[in-house]
Amino acid sequence: MANPIVTDIYTADPATLVVDGTAYIFTGRDEAASGQQQFVMREWHAFSSRSPSNDPAAWQHHGAVLSLNTFAWAGANAWASEVVQGPDGRFYWFVSVDGRTDNGWMNIGVAVADHPLGPYRDAIGGPLISDATPNSSALNIDPTVFSDDDGEIYLYWGSYWEPRAVRLRDSMTALDGGVFEPAGLTGFWEAPWLFERNGVSYMAYASNSGTDCVTSSSYACIRYATANSPAGPWTHRGVVLGQVSSTTNHPAIMQFGDQWFMVYHTADAPGGGNFRRSVAIDQLFFNTDGTMRKVVQTP
C-alpha cells in the first residue's frame, strides 16, 4: 500500500508540522457525496508518524481535532489551514472559514492549544483577516505562517491571483503593520507554503497558468520561488510538482531528520474526485545549488 495515505475518509489541503521527533499532517475533510460538485468541509483531521513515508501504516489517525464549531462566528467551509508553534511554545492553527454575517466571504481565523493535537479554542473570537482588512486578497484563504531567525513572523495567504502578506505580532493573533502584495510570485493562484532551508526562504504555491504547468485551464501545478527574506522579493524558480488528478493542488513541505517531504492531495483514492480528495506524500530532493527537483508522484 502507498499513496494516497488515507482512504477511509477523504482528506485535502495538507499542512505539516514536526515537533519532538513526531511528524504531523493536518488536513481538511472532504465530505461531498459521490457526484456532488461542491466542497462540503466542516472539520480538520490530524495524523501523526514517528517515521513518515507514503506507507499508510506509518500514520496514526487522531480524528477530527478541530471543527467549524470552535469558531462561533464561522458559518461553513473548513478550508485550508496550517499549524505553527508560536514564540510562547503554544500551537496556533490558522484556518480558512466562511463568516456568518459577511455574505459568506472567506476569512482567516486562529485557534490555539498547548499540544499539536489540542484541545484547541478560538484565539481571537473573530477573524484575523477578512474583507474588512485593508488591501486583503480577493479570497482570504490558505494561510501559511513562518517565523524567521530574527523572530519576525510572516503570514501569507490568498487566492484568485492575489497573494497577500503581513507581519504578525508575537501574540500570533494580531497584525504588525499593513498588508502588502509580495513581489515575484509568478503565476500565483493560491495555496502558499512558506519555509526556510539553509538561510534561504522558499515559497511553494499552486499555479494554474503557464505551459510548463497546465494542460487544461482548470488544473494546477505547484511552483516555487526563493528569497533572501520571508518578506521577499521573490524569484520564481519553476514547477516543483506537476498536475495532480484533482483540479486543485495544495502543497505542504517538511524536513524530518535529513529527509524532506512534500505532502499534497490528489483524487486518487477509490471513489475520489475534485471534491473527494486524498492526501499523498512523496520525498522532496534539493540540488546542491538549493533548487528543488521536481517531485515524482508515487502511486
Instruction: Work out how close the CB of 82 gets to ligand FUB at its nearest, in angstroms, rounded to a whole number.
Output: 11
Distance CA 148, CA 297 (A): 30
List the interface residues with ligand FUB, window 191-250 (CB under 6 A).
Answer: 191, 248, 250
The reply to whether 78 sits near ligand FUB by the rule CB under 6 A is no
Give the residue from 12, 15, 35 showing the smallest Cα distance to 25.
15
Residue 104 or 119 with smaller CB distance to ligand FUB: 104
Instruction: Work out how close the CB of 207 gets to ligand FUB at its nearest, in angstroms, rounded to a whole number.
Output: 12
The reply to whether 12 sits near ligand FUB by the rule CB under 6 A is yes
CA atoms within 13 A on the CB side of 282: 19
Instruction: Work out how close the CB of 20 gets to ligand FUB at its nearest, in angstroms, rounded to a whole number.
Output: 28
Burial 178-208 (b: 16+ CB within 10 A, else e): ebeebeebebbbbbbbbbbeeeebbbbbbbb
Residue 53 or 110 with smaller CB distance to ligand FUB: 110
Q: Which long-range contacts (CB under 8 A, 24 or more apart) does 87-94 make?
A: 87/147, 87/151, 87/153, 87/170, 87/172, 88/170, 90/114, 91/17, 91/115, 91/116, 91/120, 92/123, 92/145, 92/172, 92/173, 93/26, 93/44, 93/66, 93/120, 94/128, 94/143, 94/144, 94/145, 94/155
- Please give the angle made by the CA atoms of 108, 110 and 116, to the nearest 5 degrees: 130
Instruction: Work out how close the CB of 96 gets to ligand FUB at its nearest, in angstroms, rounded to a whole number.
Output: 5
Instruction: Work out how close the CB of 248 gets to ligand FUB at its nearest, in angstroms, rounded to a whole number.
Output: 4
State the residue for C-alpha cell 492549544: 113
Residue 3 or 248 with smaller CB distance to ligand FUB: 248
Instruction: Work out how close the CB of 113 gets to ligand FUB at its nearest, in angstroms, rounded to a whole number.
Output: 21
Distance CA 63, CA 59 (A): 12
- For residue 80 the three cell numbers come to 485550508
Among 10, 26, 39, 146, the residue binding ligand FUB under the rule CB under 6 A is 39
Distance CA 263, CA 299 (A): 13
How many residues bind ligand FUB, per CB under 6 A? 13
Residue 164 or 250 with smaller CB distance to ligand FUB: 250
- Determine the length of the chain: 299
Q: What are the helix (H) ranges across the chain?
A: none
State the residue for C-alpha cell 489551514: 81
Residue 139 or 284 with smaller CB distance to ligand FUB: 139
Residue 53 or 83 with smaller CB distance to ligand FUB: 83
List the interface residues with ligand FUB, window 134-163 (CB under 6 A).
Answer: 141-142
Residue 53 or 140 with smaller CB distance to ligand FUB: 140
The reply to whether 185 sits near ligand FUB by the rule CB under 6 A is no
List the interface residues with ligand FUB, window 18-37 (CB under 6 A).
Answer: 28
Instruction: Work out how close the CB of 249 gets to ligand FUB at its nearest, in angstroms, rounded to a whole number.
Output: 7
Residue 28 or 163 with smaller CB distance to ligand FUB: 28
What is the binding site for ligand FUB (CB under 6 A)?
12-13, 28, 39, 79-80, 96, 141-142, 190-191, 248, 250
